Amino acid sequence: MSFYGIAGLFISSYLWCTISWNVGSGYDRFDRKEGIMSLFRWGFPGRNRRIFLRFFLKDIQSIRMEVRKKTF
């Protein structure tokens, strides 16, 4: 039972950290006057915490997001 208790503490601390850091929060902006779409998201703390992408609307046919692991 102590194994499940310790595992529960680790999982709950991970969830509380993601809530307090606002991981995944952000906004999508579609500016038709300028013809630009902007995506902004907050990630986990570190070097690449701030994610900001800009695209031209005329170049977009569909939107698909993919997560890749970064290798060092």
The string of pLDDT tens digits covering residues 35-54 is 999 999 999 898 889 999 99
Residue 3 belongs to some domain of the structure: no
Whether 37 is in a domain gets the answer yes
- The pLDDT assigned to 38 comes to 94
Is residue 2 in a domain?
no
Q: How far apart are CA 37 and CA 31, in angstroms?
A: 6
- Tokens for 34, please give them: 């300028």
Percent of the chain with pLDDT over 70: 99
**pTM attached to this predicted model:** 0.64
Q: For residue 70, is pLDDT > 90? A: no
Q: Which residue has the higher pLDDT, 45 or 72?
A: 45
pLDDT value of position 72: 67
Quick check: 67 pLDDT over 90?
no
Q: How far apart are CA 20 and CA 28, in angstroms?
A: 21
What are the phi and psi torsion angles at 61 (to 5°)?
-105, -40
Q: Is 13 among the domain residues?
A: no
